[in-house]
A and B are shown apart, each in its own frame.
Chain A
Amino acid sequence: MPFDYRRFNGPEDSVSYKRFSEDFLRTYDELYKDLLDENGKRKDGRALNEARSLCTSISRTNIVSQAKGSAYVELNKTKVICSVFDPREITGHQNEYSWFGQIYCEVKFAPFSCPRKRRQLVPDSDEKALSADLKKALETVVRRDKFPNFQMDIFVYILEHDGGCLSAAINAAGLALADAVVPMYDIVSASSVAIINDQIIIDPTEAEEHLALMYTDKEKNHGLVTMCFMHHLKQFTDFRQIGSVDAECVLKVMDILEKECDKLMLVIKKIMVSNVVRQHNEHKVLLEEAKFREEVLQSKVEEWRKLLNAG
């Protein structure tokens, strides 16, 4: 078991104090009763089929200045940051030449990101699975034939986890890739759905996800579906479902998610366009400033020359 020795760790068998709070031990039925209020709204005031909007003002690209491209995505409390680095050549003599570029993905939770536990610094199986899923979703979209035998690194850091982190990570990565001007076939967008007791809940929060995967004796459908979609090609690049859902429900969810992704696409496009506009404006401002400085310098030079000529 890898262990982080640079930090002060509690005793191995220590548990979070939250374990002894009443909230922690609530049963499925109690939690289910609390899921919706009397008006059929969710805790955060959304309707069942209402997604959290990707705030265009907050979600933006070009966040990490060291990276080639980066993006920050915020869905209410879910906050994800993603950076994409330049392709670098795959070294190591035992590797064969690969005709397609490789994508390396790493998803990391911040230690304080999860409401239920503290995340360790060493990657756990959750994070590894998320990284693999992200890689699967992106490999299809990126034109890997454009950079043979090169590897591109994509890092996703989840600052706060309140449900839908895989879809948020994919959306952020799509934006960051576009920001890094990586050639792609299409724009990707991802969306998720929770199914609790036959009810379909779009864009679930962490509490709702937890409830969807909780252990229950009920025979009804429960589960979590995440889908990644290419808008113009009308193709899934990734589809993941866990839980227990019958065939009819899966088909229904597919249609719903397709519509959700289409809605998201508009927002993503807007962010991309606004980003280009902003960069263009910034560029313009920089040019003007440069011109102004040049003029100032030029006038100084003139002045000096005059002084010199005057002796």
Chain B
Amino acid sequence: MAGLLLSRTEKVYIVNGIEEDFRSDGRSNYDYRPIELETNVVSHASGSARLRLANTDILVGIKTEVDIPKPETPGLGKIEFFVDCSANATPEFEGRGGEQLANRISNILQRAYHASQAFNLKQLCIFEGKQCWKLYVDILILECGGNLCDAVSLAVKAALFTTRIPFVKAALMDGGDVDLQLSDDPFDSKPLVVGTAPLLVTLCKIGNKFVVDPSAEEEFCSIVSVVIGVSGNPAHYTTEKIENVESKFTTIGMSGVGGLVPDTLKSAISQGIVAAKCLDSALGRSLLRERQDICSYKKDSYGFLK
């Protein structure tokens, strides 16, 4: 990250602290840093969220466009992830410098959202084989303070939660083409069903232990990390009573230079699924509270002015 310099002794301090389950900022190995989340911050987007996880700052905007479905999947919509590493985060990202990192993150997201149990693309269908919605999920990384994957996935899910898809009022068939008429009223729309959308959890191996939510300094000390995507539980994202859905892995991947013994990997992913479940329920609760506040006009918009 940006000019991060760490001496050998500092590294030893971090590694030994983690061995004792006591990290340099006072957390245990299973703790996340405080997260701030605000939704509906960009008015040009159909849904948006800004998430700040300690120093990591993410802004997600979602735009919807009408598109033609793929021939092999006529009944499904499309979703596309685009990550932009802003040079605000570090001068290294100037020009095309951030592209590699951006590709890595968008690849992981694309894989995590691929499974049908993770995100239902059927809700984006307008006219089977003719028209569908395409969601552009644009992720802007404004500051890097470690643990980008987790922060990005939380922000994406929050933004998808606030996204509303306009209803189609009428459709005219003109020859083979479909001419859609959308309703102009922004409230005449349906929210997306995103309860099962996956969250990513990065488990960073430092010394012999795994930690969640590594800071930039801790990432620097680690040689290998495991990123897992765990599908969410829709029961957390609605006020109605519905059945709990068991969480499943939607993606597992390793990054960094290093190998893992099978047993270590097994313990890592079982530690990760616990963390993902906790995150999921916390995110659901706060999103529902925010929606409640918006409905009763209690919400103040802060944006970046806080």
Task: Check if A250 sits within 8 Å of B252, measured CB to CB.
Answer: yes
Q: Would A244 and B116 be within 8 Å (CB), given that A132-B104, A239-B252 are in contact? A: yes
> Given the interface contacts A136-B254, A244-B231, does A230 sit within 8 Å of B249 by beta carbon?
no
B257 touches which one: A140, A216, A245, A254 (CB < 8 A)?
A: A140
The answer to whether B117 and A242 have CB atoms under 8 Å apart is no
Asked if residues B250 and A239 are in contact (CB atoms below 8 Å), the reply is: no
Determine whether the beta carbon of A247 is less than 8 Å from that of B117.
no
Contact A254 B265 (CB under 8 A): yes
Contact A239 B115 (CB under 8 A): no
Report the minimum CB–CB distance from B120 to chain A (whole Å). Answer: 9
Interface segment, A33-41, A219-227, A265-273, A280-288?
A219-227
Asked whether A247 lies within 8 Å of B259 as measured between CB atoms, the reply is: no
Residues of B with C-beta under 8 A to A244? 115-118, 231, 248-250
Closest to A129 in B: B107
Question: What residue in chain B is nearest A234 (Cβ atoms)?
Answer: B261
Within 8 A of B (CB), among A199-237: 213, 215-217, 219, 221-223, 225, 230, 233-237
Residue A243 CB within 8 A of the other chain: yes
Give the Cβ gap from B276 to chain A, nearest Cβ, in Å.
11
Residue in contact with B259 in the complex, picked from A19, A125, A215, A237, CB distance below 8 Å: A237
Distance A245 CA – B110 CA, assembled complex (angstroms): 16
19 contacts between A and B (CB under 8 A): A15-B71, A19-B72, A24-B72, A25-B72, A116-B72, A125-B103, A132-B103, A132-B107, A136-B254, A215-B116, A215-B121, A222-B115, A236-B260, A239-B260, A242-B250, A244-B250, A246-B248, A251-B266, A258-B262
Write out the residue numbers on chain B whose beta carbons fall within 8 Å of the beta carbon of A213.
114-115
Question: B237-251 vs A: 1/0 string, CB under 8 Å?
Answer: 000000000101111
Chain A 120-154 residues near chain B, CB threshold 8 A:
125, 128-129, 132, 136, 139-140
Does B270 sit within 8 A of A, measured CB to CB? yes
Which residues of chain B have C-beta atoms less than 8 A from A140's C-beta? 257-259
**Closest 4 A-B residue pairs measured CB to CB?**
A235-B259, A244-B115, A241-B252, A244-B117
On whether the beta carbons of A236 and B265 are closer than 8 Å, the reply is yes
Option from A24, A125, A235, A243 in Cβ contact (under 8 Å) with B261? A235
B contact residues vs A (CB 8 Å cutoff): 71-73, 76, 103-104, 107, 110-111, 114-118, 121, 226, 231, 246, 248-255, 257-262, 265-266, 269-270, 273
Query: Bound state CA distance, A217 and B273, in angstroms?
Result: 23
Q: Is A240 at the interface (CB under 8 A from chain B)? A: yes
- Give Cα A125–Cα B259 distance, bound, in whole angstroms: 26
**Interface residues, chain A, CB within 8 Å of chain B?**
15, 19, 24-25, 116, 125, 128-129, 132, 136, 139-140, 213, 215-217, 219, 221-223, 225, 230, 233-247, 250-251, 254-255, 258
**Min CB gap A27→B, angstroms:** 10
Across the interface, B255 reaches (CB within 8 A) one of A136, A216, A250, A258, namely A136
By a CB distance below 8 angstroms, the chain B residues around A235 are 259-261
From A15, A125, A247, contact of B273 by CB (8 A)? A247
User: Contact at B115–A242, with CB atoms within 8 Å?
Assistant: yes
CB nearest to B103 among chain A residues? A128
A255–B263 Cα distance when bound, in Å, is 10
